[in-house]
Chain A
C-alpha cells in the first residue's frame, strides 16, 4: 500500500548540468502526471502519461525538458542544460484512469523533488 514516491527529495545542481527526476507511481495506476510548483505559485502541468505513452506533452516549457515512462510504471523527467528558472518543486501524481468512458478518480501525489539550480 505504498504511495507515490519520488527521488531525490532534494537536488542542487549547477547551471548547465543535466538532471533526472524519478517517480514511482502507485501500483496499478495507469495515469501519471508531472507538475511544477514554483514558490508562491500554483501547479504548472508538464506532461501526462497513459501507460507508457504521452498523449499530452503540451506543458513542457522547452525542448530541454523530456520525460519517459517504462513498463507502465516508473517515470523519469529529464531536464537538460538546467537554467536558474528551472528551480522549483517537481511533483508527480498518479491516478486510476480508464481509456474508454469517463474517469473521475482523484490523483495521488508524491512528496516532490525540490530542484535548485545555482
Chain B
C-alpha cells in the first residue's frame, strides 16, 4: 500500500523569505516521489520528481526538494519566495513495485505575502 500526507493545509510566507511545503509518504518498496503545482482554474503542472540518486532534486521555477529516507519525507523548498508562487501544491507517491497509479496528498495552499 502507498500513502502520502501533507500535514499543512496552508503555508504563509513573506516574499523573499525561504519556503517549505511538507510531505511525508509510506510505501512498501522504493518510492517514486513527485511535486505538482496548481494555479487557479488550471490543471496540475509537474515541478520535480525523485526516482533515485541524489537526495536533493532541483525542478522548475527555482524549486527543489529533499528526499529523506529515514524520515520518509520529501519536502518542497525554495530559497526566496515570490508572490507568483502562491498556488496549491500537491505531493504524490508511487511504490516502485506497485501499480501505475500515484497517490496524491490533499494539497497545501501556499500564500506568499508582498
Q: Which A residues lie at the B interface, using CB under 8 A? A: 4, 31, 33, 41-43, 45, 48, 50, 56, 91, 93, 95, 97, 102-104, 106-112
Query: How near does chain A come to B99, taking the closest CB pair, in angstroms?
Result: 7
Residues of B within 8 A of A97 (CB): 100
Q: In B3-61, which residues have CB < 8 Å from any A CB?
A: 32, 34, 36, 41-46, 49, 51
> Which of B32, B42, B99, B104 meets A43, CB within 8 Å?
B104
Nearest Cβ on chain B to A50's Cβ, whole angstroms: 7
- List chain A residues, Cβ under 8 A from B94: 104
Contact (A106, B101) CB under 8 Å given A42-B106, A91-B44: no
**B:61-101 near A, CB below 8 Å:** 90, 94, 96, 99-101
Contact (A43, B90) CB under 8 Å given A109-B43, A111-B42: yes
A111-B90 in contact (CB<8A): no
Count chain B residues whose beta carbon lies closer than 8 angstroms to a beta carbon of A.
22
Q: Can you list 16 residue pairs at the A/B interface with Cβ under 8 Å?
A: A31-B100, A41-B106, A42-B90, A42-B107, A43-B104, A45-B101, A48-B100, A48-B101, A91-B44, A93-B44, A104-B32, A104-B51, A109-B43, A109-B44, A111-B42, A111-B43
B interface, over-half SS: loop
Q: A33 contacts which of B41, B49, B51, B101 (Cβ < 8 Å)?
A: B101
Which residues on the B side are within 8 Å of A110 (C-beta)?
43
Nearest CB of chain A from residue B17's CB, rounded to whole Å: 26
Residues of B within 8 A of A56 (CB): 99, 101
Known contacts A91-B44, A108-B46; A103 and B100 CB within 8 A of each other: yes
Residues of A within 8 A of B43 (CB): 4, 91, 93, 109-112
Q: Within 8 Å CB of A95, what residues of B?
A: 100
